[in-house]
Amino acid sequence: MNAKQILEKIKTTQAYMNYSRMWPFVKPYWFRALLAVLICIPIGSLDAVIALSLKPYMDLVMVEKTVESPWYIPFGIVAFTSIQGMLNYLATYLNTWVGGKITNDLKFELYKKLLTFETAYFDRKKSGDIVFRFNNDADTACAGLLDNLKTFVSRLFSSISLVCVLIYNSWQLALIAIFILGCAFLPLAKIRQRIKSVMDKSVVAGSTIITAYNESFAGNKTITSYNLADYQENKFKNILHEIFKFKIKMIQRTSWLSPMMHVIVSVGIGIAIGYGSHLILTKQITSGNFVSFITALIMLYTPIKNLGNNFNSVQFSFMAIERVFGVLESNPRIKDKPNAVELKTIKDGISFKDVCFEYIKDKPVLKHINLEVKKGETIAFVGNSGGGKSTIVSLIPRFYDIKSGSIKIDGIDIRDYTLKSLRANIAVVFQDNFLFSGTIKENILLGKEDATEEEVQKAIKMAYLDEFVATLKDGLNTQIGERGMLLSGGQKQRVAIARAFLKNAPIVILDEATSALDNKSEAIVQKAIDNLMIDKTVFVIAHRLSTIQNADRIALINEGVLAELGTHEELMQIENGKYKNLYNMQFRVQKETQKTPVTV
Ligand SMILES: Nc1ncnc2c1ncn2[C@@H]1O[C@H](COP(=O)(O)OP(=O)(O)O)[C@@H](O)[C@H]1O
Ligand SMILES: [Mg+2]
């Protein structure tokens, strides 16, 4: 093998690949990282000095007794230990500093990546998965890498210098020792494949436990009201059992390594002592040589005995690195085209042409939808639950991309606009809007970060929040708890509407924004929504009659098909029409109850 081939071979090794992938993250701190590694060289090499100095001590002090004042020896020991200690401190400090910086950068990159992923990515993943892959793996990857680099470098130099001490004392013994050392490395080759599958499974199990905690937190009320404590406990117990099982499996597959090293090492020491004694007796080496040799040998072998554990942690960190870069190198499916244009504002309208869509391959959810919506028009979607209403509107801000056909705004396919500008032109209010922990004001300002105080006040007024806010001691600066827990359903909706109002986007999407509310809060939220709809192009999905009656046109979606389209009057004309049926079944009842005045 020539040098080039060797280089190629090194380049394809796992260690090289992983370290080189990490390089961009190490680069900004290369100087301190290098310093941290360089410091490990004297730390390692100083080991040999202790072993080496035993020879003259043994020979001159103990055997020949020719030294006048042996006091320099204890001083020497203390001096060396102090230097080594100081260097160790520096190395640990630098390592932690560099490691902390790299971990932060890696986590930041991962987080940035996380935010670029499309809705479908989050549909597939569980919350525990996200925490594990984006947080824990970054920690494992960096911690393992740097610790091991430090250990590796100091051990390498410690080994080199100790081997020199061995050879200096007796080259015959040194040969034996090094040969046996080589044998100790053989079992390492096997271990990787054996732990890979267990490792992958234990990552999955580890992420399930985080999901379990998250669900217990978010679903706390459901758990309490359905008396699900036993059920949850059982589920949790099973997860714990799974994790335990994998832990044990991992130990079974890896922990034989260290004892095996112990045995191999003891064979080495045994042979060295046996043969060494023979060499002393035949006066080929001095007792000093022998003591120095054995000390060096034990010092050399000690880290090797633990190599098993070390090796495992390297493997863990390598596998974490692979997962981390798997995420970093994956591409979000919904992203800007290279020559995407800005959507400034909407001039003509939005058109759906022969739009087909499916979440899961070959399970069509929307079939050949054709729809033209003019600027300023309000279009209401009605139809059976599960028919595809939410799906249609979620295609406009590109939460998902369509399978075939096209959706155009002002004649340009929405996939040709930049995602940012497209989404800036759309305000969405869902049935259950996500509010962030923080104050009411902070949440409203998310609609427009640089809004003036006047704009905020107007948004609050239009969202019918002003009276409520006035009753609060801290007003707009009231904390609303995680996910807005401290607000009622109607208040949460109105905060979300104020947020949408501030965004002032020309396209408004309302997906059953009032259907989770009781009559009283619904009436006031509906008024807020009416304000939000003024002068906008609106797509509204509603179960309520009033919204539908106010719409310019109604689209009836049934099983993914746009079955009927027209004004209320037009659709009511259709003999045996689906809308007519729905109206008679559902909305007429509402009309009757509506006669009782609703108080606000
Ligand atoms: N994220 C998703 N992944 C897979 N299938 C989905 C997803 N969201 C909705 N669906 C399915 O698509 C169909 C239409 O759902 P949806 O548009 O929410 O109906 P609607 O809003 O009319 O009640 C349903 O059969 C539903 O089960
Ligand atoms: Mg829906």
Beta bridge mates, 50: none
Residues in contact with ligand 1 (CB, 6 Å cut-off): 123, 359-360, 365, 385-391
* Per-residue confidence (pLDDT) for residue 11, from 0 to 100: 65
- 223 pLDDT exceeds 50? yes
Residue 350 lies in a domain: no
Per-residue pLDDT, averaged over 131-140, amounts to 89
Per-residue pLDDT, averaged over 273-280, amounts to 88
Residue 339 lies in a domain: no
Residue 427 lies in a domain: yes
Exposure string of 477-492, with b = 16+ CB inside 10 Å and e = fewer, is: ebebeeebeebebbbb
**DSSP letter string over 506-536?**
SEEEEESTTTTS-HHHHHHHHHHHHHHHTTS
Confidence of residue 340 (pLDDT cuts 50, 70, 90): very high
Domain CATH number, residue 170: 1.20.1560.10
Least confidently predicted of 252-256, 307-311, 487-491, 529-533: 307-311
Atom of ligand 1 nearest to the CA of 120: 1
Strand order across the beta sheet in which 404-409 lies: 363-374, 349-360, 404-409, 412-413
Chain mean position to CA 169: 54
For the question of whether the overall pTM of this predicted structure is more than 0.75, the answer is: yes
Residue nearest to atom 2 of ligand 1 (CA): 359
Range of the domain at 572: 375-399+423-594
Residue 337 lies in a domain: no
- 210 pLDDT exceeds 70? yes
More confident residue, 560 or 318: 560
* Per-residue confidence (pLDDT) for residue 588, from 0 to 100: 66
Domain shared by 182 and 279, yes or no: yes
* Gap from CA of 495 to ligand 1 centroid (Å): 26
- 559 pLDDT exceeds 60? yes
Q: Which of 124, 365, 540 to mutate to test the pocket of ligand 1 (most atoms within 8 A of CB)?
A: 365
Alpha carbons 315 and 273: distance in angstroms, whole number: 35
Domain shared by 36 and 137, yes or no: yes
- 267 pLDDT exceeds 90? no
* Per-residue confidence (pLDDT) for residue 540, from 0 to 100: 94
* Per-residue confidence (pLDDT) for residue 272, from 0 to 100: 85
* Gap from CA of 545 to ligand 1 centroid (Å): 23
* Per-residue confidence (pLDDT) for residue 80, from 0 to 100: 84
* Gap from CA of 388 to ligand 1 centroid (Å): 6
Kindly state the greatest CA–CA separation across the chain.
Answer: 122
427: nearest Cα among 554, 547, 542, 536: 536
Per-residue pLDDT, averaged over 216-233, amounts to 87
Residue 1 lies in a domain: no
* Other CB atoms within 10 A of residue 177 CB: 26
| Structural domain count, the chain | 2
Residue nearest to atom 7 of ligand 1 (CA): 359
* Per-residue confidence (pLDDT) for residue 107, from 0 to 100: 94
Domain shared by 110 and 56, yes or no: yes
Confidence of residue 305 (pLDDT cuts 50, 70, 90): low
Quote the tokens at residue 9: 């071979």
Domain shared by 17 and 123, yes or no: yes
* Per-residue confidence (pLDDT) for residue 500, from 0 to 100: 93
Helices vs. strands in the chain: H and E counts, helices first: 25, 10
pLDDT digits (tens, 9 = 90+) for 408-444: 999 999 999 999 999 999 999 988 888 888 899 999 9
Domain end (from 273, 306, 329): 329
Residue nearest to atom 6 of ligand 1 (CA): 359
Domain shared by 392 and 325, yes or no: no
* Per-residue confidence (pLDDT) for residue 597, from 0 to 100: 42
Per-residue pLDDT, averaged over 89-115, amounts to 92
Domain shared by 134 and 207, yes or no: yes
Beta bridge mates, 364: 358
Alpha carbons 359 and 240: distance in angstroms, whole number: 33
Domain shared by 256 and 392, yes or no: no
* Gap from CA of 494 to ligand 1 centroid (Å): 26
Average pLDDT, the chain: 86
- 186 pLDDT exceeds 90? no
Residue 600 lies in a domain: no
Domain shared by 325 and 389, yes or no: no
* Per-residue confidence (pLDDT) for residue 10, from 0 to 100: 66
* Per-residue confidence (pLDDT) for residue 600, from 0 to 100: 34
